[in-house]
Amino acid sequence: MALPRLRDRLGEGGFVVSAWLGLIDPVVHEAFLRADFDAVTFDVQHGLHDTASLRAGIERAVLLGKPALVRLPIEDRALAARLLDFGASAVMMPMIETADEARAFVAVAKYPPFGQRSYGPTRAGELHGYADRADYVTDARNETLAFAMIETGASVDNLDAILAVDGLDGVFVGPSDLSIALSGDGTLDPRGAQAEAAIKRIAAATSAAGKIATIYAATPEDAKRYREYGYRLVCVSSDQAVIAAGARALAEAVRG
């Protein structure tokens, strides 16, 4: 075993579909891990996770052969480093608006020379099967990924500077927050013309910088459209939304 070669799968022409997990139930996690997703993403920012559920969820993902990604709480750089030590393959930091904020994120997420991640991957090394932890450090420089979330007007304005930060692997777009920020009046419209134009621009700029564009998609149709724009990883819907939709469909089918 070794760290999943997520970067290779996200290379030119690659496309990764991730489940989005905000609930903490292990049975729910297993259902999505056993489905035909390439990866799973644990949402800490708006989900119900705590450190214990993240530790168990990352372990479950690794042992079932799927990369685990994590969307962090805003500015929680300490948790970013800790979850990588738990065995996560990628971390996403919300509300990155400047190159300095991106550099601070990279500092905790990447080993030198890219950052200053502190050494201590005991659990990650064990989970991923590294007999020699030095080999984990070598692989992690390239194979554990750091994504800055682009979801405000300032982050769009500073996009080129953020993308130029050494050690940052790419960006992750939050269409809902982005649409609210760009609307001028707080309107939520992630499929509106203004948000769509920004989403296209972000994909193009990220590709031109030689980095990886990733995004959240509320529906399969959104995911397919974002792939056409050049996004290489799409997190689709959520565990809560899928369960709620399934429950409604089942009840309606019986009563219909």
Backbone angles phi, psi at 179, to 5 degrees: -65, -40
Residue 12: predicted pLDDT: 82
Q: Are 100 and 77 in contact (CB under 8 A)?
A: no
Q: Tell me the per-residue pLDDT of 82-139, one tens digit each, with 9 for 90 and over.
A: 999 999 999 999 999 999 999 999 999 999 999 999 999 999 999 999 999 999 999 9
Q: Burial, 117: exposed, middle or buried (Cβ in 10 Å; 0-12, 13-18, 19+)? A: buried
Rounded Cα distance between 150 and 194, Å, is 15
Q: Tell me the per-residue pLDDT of 15-61, one tens digit each, with 9 for 90 and over.
A: 999 999 999 999 999 999 999 999 999 999 999 999 999 999 999 99
Six-digit token string for 140: 């992690």
Query: Of 94, 66, 236, 223, whose CA–CA distance to 171 is shortest?
Result: 94
Q: Are 173 and 190 in contact (CB under 8 A)?
A: no
49 is catalytic: no
Residue of 29, 46, 49, 128 with catalytic role = 46
Rounded Cα distance between 129 and 131, Å, is 6
| Neighbour count for residue 78 (Cβ, 10 Å) | 11
The helix or strand, by DSSP H or E, that contains position 18, with its residue range, turns out to be strand 16-21
Q: Tell me the per-residue pLDDT of 179-200, one tens digit each, with 9 for 90 and over.
A: 999 999 999 999 999 999 999 9
Residue 143: predicted pLDDT: 96
Within 8 A by CB and 6+ apart from 200, the residues are 229
